[in-house]
Amino acid sequence: MLTVVWVDELDEATTREVRELLAAARDEDGRPDLPPGGALPGEFATGLHLLGRADGVLAGYGHLDVAGDAFGRQVAELVVRPDHRRRGVGSEMLSALVDRAGEATVRLWAHGDHPGAAAIAERAGFSRARELLIMRTAVDPDWPEPTLPEGVSLRTFVPGQDEQAVIEVNARAFDWHPEQGRLTVADLRAEEAADWFDADGFFLAEDTAGKLLGFHWTKVHPANPHRFGGRETGEVYVVGVDPGAQGGGLGKALTLAGLRHLRDRGLPQVILYVEGDNAPAIAVYSRLGFTRHEVDVQYER
């Protein structure tokens, strides 16, 4: 019998249980990525937590971001321990998520587009609403030097100096995006404190007056035995171009600057995330050698 309870915060012991469950799911599915140490992924830091126990074992974990995305939609995650799947745990926990959300619009992530997750979501009245593609390429020794628009120069990010300008461009470039457009100066500074942050891989494009026109923020993932062939992997983390500077090739130039940086670090491959309906961006990345590797899906009710 499954017992389902909501909690506002996780104590230390329960956090360990949840991490163990997520690690078991990662070993089976390749997801989710877990930070080093004993912490949970950052997206689970706030919001509500749903715990499903069967015979004293944490069989399922759910998370509900009640603050929602940039458009006010609540966002849910649901993970079932692999050895408790196909026993109704996912369906029962999703029912509890739906009840808790009430009349609010809810989006549910299915990472990796797992068919079991799709079946559970559809039975609960969710429909496929968003695809987030993960594209991947081997590093290309022939990626050309970026060609910048006239009057534009590149430099790297300076912590303590450039946060506000980056956030302002980011907000304009991603005003349509459910997550990225909400980034704040505080969020950016928190990322700077992370072990992976590297200002030398954060490129800024400026005009002759020093006005920020766009940026390319890269990231490096340590080798993960469960994903991407178990090799260290670079990421085109965020490419943002101010709407007033779009259309002149700046986005491609920034992308190339970051790709060449990742290549020069000796990384064997690079990934990126792109919305499945963003055909122009997908076309640009495809021409640079990226191909579709995985897909994450959001279902909406």
72 marked as binding residue: no
* Ligand-binding site membership of 250 (annotated): yes
> How many angstroms separate the CA atoms of 252 and 15, rounded?
42
Model pLDDT for residues 96-116, shown as the tens digit of each residue: 999 999 999 999 999 888 888
Residue 240 labelled as part of a binding site:
yes
In terms of Cα–Cα distance, which of 56, 58, 57, 65 is closest to 79?
A: 58
* pLDDT at site 116: 82
Closest among 81, 107, 87 to 24, alpha carbons compared: 81
Is 86 among the annotated ligand-binding positions? yes
Cβ neighbours, 10 Å, residue 103: 5
**Structure tokens belonging to residue 263:** 């290549």
- The pLDDT tens digits for 125-134 are 999 999 999 9
Q: What is the pLDDT of residue 19?
A: 97
Would you say the C-alpha torsion 189, 191, 194, 197 has a positive or negative sign?
negative
With a cut of 90, say whether residue 89 has pLDDT above it.
Answer: yes
d(CA 56, CA 3): 9
pTM of the model: 0.91
> Is 116 annotated in some ligand binding site?
no
pLDDT of residue 146: 96
- pLDDT tens digits along 137-177: 999 999 999 999 999 999 999 999 999 999 999 999 999 99
**Residue 7 annotated as binding?**
no
Contacts with 215 (C-beta within 8 Å, 6 or more apart), sequence order: 157, 166, 169, 170, 202, 203, 204, 205, 238, 239, 240, 254
Q: How many CB atoms lie within 10 A of CB 155?
A: 12
pLDDT at position 224: 84
C-beta separation of 243 from 173 below 8 A: yes
Range 223-229 average pLDDT: 88
**What gap in Å lies between CA 215 and CA 170, rounded to an integer?**
9
252 annotated ligand binder: yes
Residue-range domains of the chain with CATH: 2-125 (3.40.630.30), 135-295 (3.40.630.30)
Check the annotation: does 88 bind a ligand.
yes
139 is in an annotated binding site: no
Is 89 annotated as a binding-site member?
yes
Is 238 annotated to bind ligand? no
Q: Is 106 annotated as a binding residue?
A: no
The reply to whether 5 sits in an annotated binding site is: no
The per-residue pLDDT for range 240-284, each reduced to its tens digit, is 999 999 989 999 999 999 999 999 999 999 999 999 999 989 999
Per-residue model confidence (pLDDT) at position 231: 95
Question: Is 79 annotated to bind ligand?
Answer: yes
